[in-house]
Amino acid sequence: MKKIIFIFFIGSIVVNCSPARKFSPIQEAVFHMKKQLRPSLNFQYGTLIELHVEIIDGDSLYLHRYQGDYLLKILKINGEKIDKPIIFEFEDHTYGSFPTGNFELYKRLFDKEIERLDSTMIEEMKKKYVGKTFEIVAYESTKSTGKPRDTYKYTGISPQLNFHFINYLVIIRDLNKDSLVPPLLRD
């Protein structure tokens, strides 16, 4: 009996210590893509969701990628408060109601374009936008960004950001009556 247990024990060590199974590059890519392509809000991509959001200043995150951008902090999903707020990049499909950058915000607030903004102007504009909350209808989507690791071999240029997918929100409707949307665009 002791010999059988010993043989079983040695067999399990050999099986568990054997080299990892090799996957083809295609199998590995599919595995990583499935792992990365997951909605953050636990709804399928493209599902319309009512959200209570707050505009945040990308500069406050101290990440180079978000400097000069505005992001959404999700506070409620379909009327239910969430435990931990989620921050998203977004696209505005509501005719300019939700600017994503400083120049868009200037155009939204003053109804004209400008070629240059100084820091004082930007800080004044932020006071009118950052921290505001909105009820919106949006859906989650994904896109790829960055470049594959081996780009340098072919171009001589090293990618500054590796290839990956990011989730973002597409805003299709502002449900607030007291928002930046011009009265003519409201239903």
Question: What pLDDT was estimated at residue 184?
Answer: 40
75 falls within a domain: yes
pTM assigned to the model: 0.70
Render 9-57 in DSSP notation, one character per residue: HHHHHHHHHSPPPP--HHHHHHHHHHHH---SSSS-TT--EEEEEEEEE
122 within a domain of the structure (yes/no): yes
In-domain check, residue 154: yes
Total domains in the fold of the chain: 1
Residue 12 covered by a domain: no
Collect the ranges in the chain with pLDDT lower than 70. Answer: 1-36, 177-187
Q: How far apart are CA 158 and CA 150, in angstroms?
A: 8
pLDDT at 170: 96
pLDDT at site 29:
53
Does residue 42 lie in a domain region? yes
Q: In whole angstroms, what is the distance from residue 31 CA to residue 149 CA?
A: 17
* Pairing assessment for the beta strands 133-145 and 80-92 based on DSSP bridges: unpaired
Give the Cα separation of 115 and 125 in Å (integer): 15
Apex 40 CA angle, 39 and 46, nearest 5: 40
Domain of 150? Answer: 26-177
pLDDT computed for residue 74 by the predictor: 96
**Is 72 exposed, middle or buried (CB count within 10 Å of its CB: 0-12, 13-18, 19+)?**
buried
Residue at 102 is within a domain = yes
Residue 127 lies in a domain: yes
Residue 7 placed within a domain: no
